[in-house]
Protein backbone atom coordinates (compact mmCIF):
# COMPACT_ATOMS: atom_id res chain seq x y z
CA UNK A 1 0.00 0.00 0.00
CA UNK A 2 1.24 3.51 -0.85
CA UNK A 3 0.18 6.48 1.27
CA UNK A 4 1.17 10.02 0.35
CA UNK A 5 1.23 12.59 3.16
CA UNK A 6 1.00 16.19 1.96
CA UNK A 7 2.35 18.86 4.29
CA UNK A 8 0.60 21.92 2.85
CA UNK A 9 3.39 24.31 3.82
CA UNK A 10 6.75 24.56 2.09
CA UNK A 11 8.96 24.01 5.15
CA UNK A 12 10.77 20.75 4.46
CA UNK A 13 12.17 20.35 7.98
CA UNK A 14 8.58 20.07 9.22
CA UNK A 15 7.77 17.66 6.40
CA UNK A 16 10.60 15.42 7.62
CA UNK A 17 9.13 15.37 11.13
CA UNK A 18 5.69 14.57 9.73
CA UNK A 19 7.08 11.75 7.60
CA UNK A 20 8.88 10.20 10.59
CA UNK A 21 5.68 10.23 12.65
CA UNK A 22 3.67 8.72 9.79
CA UNK A 23 6.21 6.00 9.08
CA UNK A 24 6.39 5.09 12.77
CA UNK A 25 2.80 3.81 12.68
CA UNK A 26 2.65 2.45 9.13
CA UNK A 27 2.20 -1.29 8.99
CA UNK A 28 4.44 -3.80 7.21
CA UNK A 29 4.26 -3.44 3.46
CA UNK A 30 2.99 0.15 3.66
CA UNK A 31 5.04 2.78 1.89
CA UNK A 32 4.71 6.32 3.26
CA UNK A 33 6.01 9.37 1.44
CA UNK A 34 5.66 12.90 2.81
CA UNK A 35 5.98 15.92 0.54
CA UNK A 36 5.75 19.69 0.55
CA UNK A 37 4.41 21.63 -2.43
CA UNK A 38 6.86 23.67 -4.46
CA UNK A 39 4.62 26.72 -4.08
CA UNK A 40 2.78 28.14 -1.11
CA UNK A 41 3.36 29.64 2.34
CA UNK A 42 6.14 28.49 4.70
CA UNK A 43 3.51 28.04 7.42
CA UNK A 44 -0.28 28.22 7.60
CA UNK A 45 -1.51 30.63 10.25
CA UNK A 46 -4.30 32.59 8.56
CA UNK A 47 -7.15 32.20 6.11
CA UNK A 48 -4.92 33.92 3.54
CA UNK A 49 -2.17 31.34 4.07
CA UNK A 50 -4.69 28.53 3.80
CA UNK A 51 -6.20 29.81 0.55
CA UNK A 52 -2.79 30.18 -1.10
CA UNK A 53 -1.72 26.72 0.07
CA UNK A 54 -4.54 24.95 -1.76
CA UNK A 55 -3.13 25.07 -5.35
CA UNK A 56 0.10 23.43 -4.13
CA UNK A 57 -1.89 20.78 -2.27
CA UNK A 58 -3.95 19.94 -5.34
CA UNK A 59 -0.82 19.71 -7.48
CA UNK A 60 0.54 17.08 -5.07
CA UNK A 61 -2.78 15.19 -5.10
CA UNK A 62 -2.67 15.06 -8.90
CA UNK A 63 0.91 13.78 -8.77
CA UNK A 64 -0.18 11.13 -6.29
CA UNK A 65 -2.89 9.96 -8.65
CA UNK A 66 -0.35 9.63 -11.45
CA UNK A 67 1.91 7.65 -9.12
CA UNK A 68 -0.93 5.22 -8.21
CA UNK A 69 -1.11 6.28 -4.58
CA UNK A 70 -3.73 4.33 -2.60
CA UNK A 71 -4.67 7.24 -0.36
CA UNK A 72 -3.63 10.69 0.81
CA UNK A 73 -3.26 12.52 4.11
CA UNK A 74 -3.45 16.31 4.32
CA UNK A 75 -1.17 17.20 7.22
CA UNK A 76 -2.37 20.60 8.40
CA UNK A 77 -4.86 20.98 11.23
CA UNK A 78 -7.04 23.35 9.21
CA UNK A 79 -7.64 20.48 6.75
CA UNK A 80 -7.08 22.94 3.86
CA UNK A 81 -8.28 21.93 0.42
CA UNK A 82 -9.77 18.68 1.75
CA UNK A 83 -13.00 18.80 -0.25
CA UNK A 84 -11.23 19.71 -3.50
CA UNK A 85 -8.66 16.96 -2.92
CA UNK A 86 -11.46 14.43 -2.49
CA UNK A 87 -12.85 15.46 -5.88
CA UNK A 88 -9.49 14.77 -7.55
CA UNK A 89 -8.40 11.58 -5.80
CA UNK A 90 -9.60 8.07 -6.54
CA UNK A 91 -8.70 6.75 -3.09
CA UNK A 92 -9.52 8.18 0.33
CA UNK A 93 -8.17 11.58 1.39
CA UNK A 94 -7.99 12.11 5.15
CA UNK A 95 -7.45 15.41 6.97
CA UNK A 96 -5.55 15.27 10.24
CA UNK A 97 -8.05 17.38 12.18
CA UNK A 98 -10.99 15.17 11.30
CA UNK A 99 -9.08 11.94 12.00
CA UNK A 100 -7.72 13.19 15.32
CA UNK A 101 -11.03 14.54 16.59
CA UNK A 102 -12.79 11.29 15.79
CA UNK A 103 -10.05 9.28 17.52
CA UNK A 104 -10.15 11.51 20.59
CA UNK A 105 -13.91 11.15 20.85
CA UNK A 106 -13.52 7.36 20.99
CA UNK A 107 -11.05 7.62 23.87
CA UNK A 108 -13.14 9.74 26.24
CA UNK A 109 -16.30 11.77 26.74
CA UNK A 110 -14.59 15.02 25.87
CA UNK A 111 -11.35 16.34 24.40
CA UNK A 112 -9.45 19.61 24.32
CA UNK A 113 -7.42 21.01 21.44
CA UNK A 114 -4.18 22.91 21.95
CA UNK A 115 -3.07 24.72 18.82
CA UNK A 116 -0.52 27.36 17.86
CA UNK A 117 -1.66 30.99 17.53
CA UNK A 118 -4.88 32.31 19.04
CA UNK A 119 -6.06 33.50 15.62
CA UNK A 120 -6.36 29.86 14.49
CA UNK A 121 -8.73 28.73 17.26
CA UNK A 122 -11.83 29.79 15.34
CA UNK A 123 -10.93 27.48 12.48
CA UNK A 124 -10.59 24.56 14.88
CA UNK A 125 -14.04 25.29 16.31
CA UNK A 126 -15.46 25.47 12.78
CA UNK A 127 -14.05 22.04 11.99
CA UNK A 128 -15.33 20.53 15.25
CA UNK A 129 -18.81 21.71 14.26
CA UNK A 130 -18.48 20.45 10.70
CA UNK A 131 -17.33 17.00 11.83
CA UNK A 132 -20.10 16.63 14.41
CA UNK A 133 -17.59 16.97 17.25
CA UNK A 134 -18.87 20.22 18.76
CA UNK A 135 -20.29 18.54 21.87
CA UNK A 136 -17.22 16.37 22.41
CA UNK A 137 -14.79 19.27 21.95
CA UNK A 138 -14.71 20.99 25.33
CA UNK A 139 -12.21 23.69 24.47
CA UNK A 140 -9.73 25.02 21.92
CA UNK A 141 -6.66 26.71 23.36
CA UNK A 142 -3.64 28.46 21.89
CA UNK A 143 -0.08 28.12 23.16
CA UNK A 144 0.78 31.24 21.12
CA UNK A 145 3.79 29.69 19.44
CA UNK A 146 4.12 30.36 15.71
CA UNK A 147 4.18 27.17 13.67
CA UNK A 148 7.84 27.49 12.69
CA UNK A 149 8.85 28.05 16.32
CA UNK A 150 7.94 24.42 16.98
CA UNK A 151 11.18 23.56 15.17
CA UNK A 152 13.34 26.43 16.41
CA UNK A 153 12.29 27.35 19.96
CA UNK A 154 14.08 25.16 22.55
CA UNK A 155 11.21 25.79 24.98
CA UNK A 156 8.50 24.67 22.54
CA UNK A 157 7.75 21.35 24.23
CA UNK A 158 7.50 22.97 27.66
CA UNK A 159 5.22 25.72 26.35
CA UNK A 160 2.87 23.25 24.64
CA UNK A 161 2.84 21.01 27.73
CA UNK A 162 1.90 23.91 29.99
CA UNK A 163 -0.90 24.89 27.60
CA UNK A 164 -2.19 21.30 27.71
CA UNK A 165 -2.19 21.30 31.52
CA UNK A 166 -4.11 24.58 31.56
CA UNK A 167 -6.61 23.19 29.04
CA UNK A 168 -7.21 20.06 31.11
CA UNK A 169 -7.74 22.12 34.23
CA UNK A 170 -10.18 24.46 32.50
CA UNK A 171 -12.10 21.89 30.43
CA UNK A 172 -12.02 18.71 32.49
CA UNK A 173 -11.29 16.72 29.33
CA UNK A 174 -10.39 13.05 29.07
CA UNK A 175 -8.14 13.36 26.02
CA UNK A 176 -6.01 15.95 24.26
CA UNK A 177 -5.48 16.79 20.59
CA UNK A 178 -2.43 18.81 19.53
CA UNK A 179 -3.71 21.03 16.74
CA UNK A 180 -0.70 21.21 14.47
CA UNK A 181 1.12 18.57 12.43
CA UNK A 182 4.38 20.07 13.65
CA UNK A 183 3.49 18.98 17.19
CA UNK A 184 3.12 15.30 16.29
CA UNK A 185 6.51 14.31 17.67
CA UNK A 186 5.64 15.82 21.08
CA UNK A 187 2.62 13.62 21.78
CA UNK A 188 4.22 10.73 23.68
CA UNK A 189 6.23 13.04 25.94
CA UNK A 190 3.29 15.30 26.71
CA UNK A 191 0.96 12.36 27.38
CA UNK A 192 3.41 11.05 29.98
CA UNK A 193 3.60 14.52 31.54
CA UNK A 194 -0.12 15.28 31.77
CA UNK A 195 -1.49 11.78 32.34
CA UNK A 196 -4.12 11.59 29.59
CA UNK A 197 -4.05 10.25 26.01
CA UNK A 198 -2.65 12.78 23.55
CA UNK A 199 -3.67 12.04 19.97
CA UNK A 200 -0.94 12.24 17.36
CA UNK A 201 -2.84 13.91 14.52
CA UNK A 202 -0.48 12.61 11.84
CA UNK A 203 -0.64 9.04 13.13
CA UNK A 204 -4.44 9.15 13.39
CA UNK A 205 -4.83 10.21 9.76
CA UNK A 206 -2.12 7.89 8.47
CA UNK A 207 -3.77 4.87 10.08
CA UNK A 208 -7.23 5.86 8.85
CA UNK A 209 -6.19 5.62 5.21
CA UNK A 210 -5.16 1.92 5.20
CA UNK A 211 -8.23 1.04 7.26
CA UNK A 212 -10.48 2.46 4.53
CA UNK A 213 -8.42 0.96 1.71
CA UNK A 214 -8.42 -2.46 3.38
CA UNK A 215 -12.21 -2.30 3.58
CA UNK A 216 -12.30 -1.50 -0.13
CA UNK A 217 -13.70 1.99 0.48
CA UNK A 218 -13.01 5.31 -1.20
CA UNK A 219 -14.69 8.69 -1.48
CA UNK A 220 -18.16 8.50 -3.02
CA UNK A 221 -18.16 9.98 -6.52
CA UNK A 222 -21.88 10.15 -7.21
CA UNK A 223 -22.50 13.74 -6.15
CA UNK A 224 -20.51 16.53 -4.56
CA UNK A 225 -17.14 14.75 -4.68
CA UNK A 226 -17.41 13.66 -8.30
CA UNK A 227 -14.51 14.60 -10.56
CA UNK A 228 -14.71 18.35 -11.34
CA UNK A 229 -16.43 19.16 -14.64
CA UNK A 230 -14.23 20.16 -17.60
CA UNK A 231 -13.35 23.83 -17.37
CA UNK A 232 -10.64 26.14 -18.66
CA UNK A 233 -8.86 28.16 -15.99
CA UNK A 234 -7.15 31.44 -16.82
CA UNK A 235 -3.82 33.11 -16.09
CA UNK A 236 -1.66 31.56 -13.39
CA UNK A 237 -4.24 28.82 -12.91
CA UNK A 238 -4.13 27.60 -16.50
CA UNK A 239 -2.28 24.49 -15.35
CA UNK A 240 -5.30 23.49 -13.25
CA UNK A 241 -7.64 23.26 -16.24
CA UNK A 242 -9.80 20.16 -15.88
CA UNK A 243 -11.04 17.63 -18.38
CA UNK A 244 -8.08 17.77 -20.77
CA pair distance 207, 201, nearest whole angstrom = 10
pLDDT in tens, 121-134: 999 999 999 999 99
CATH architecture for segment(s) 2-95+203-240: 3-Layer(aba) Sandwich (3.40)
pLDDT at 243: 82
Q: What is the pLDDT of residue 244?
A: 58
pTM of the model: 0.97
Topology of 97-200 in CATH?
Rossmann fold (3.40.50)
Q: What is the mean pLDDT of the chain?
A: 97
Query: Are both 2-95+203-240 and 97-200 of the same fold?
Result: yes
Domain extent listing, the chain: 2-95+203-240, 97-200
Amino acid sequence: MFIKVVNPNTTWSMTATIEACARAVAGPGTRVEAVSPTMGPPSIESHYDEALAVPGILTEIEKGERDSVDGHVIACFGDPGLDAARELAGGPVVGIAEAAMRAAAVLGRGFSVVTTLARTTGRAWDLAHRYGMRDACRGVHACDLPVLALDSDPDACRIVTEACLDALSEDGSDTMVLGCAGMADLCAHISAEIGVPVVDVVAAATLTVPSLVTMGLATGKRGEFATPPPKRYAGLLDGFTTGG
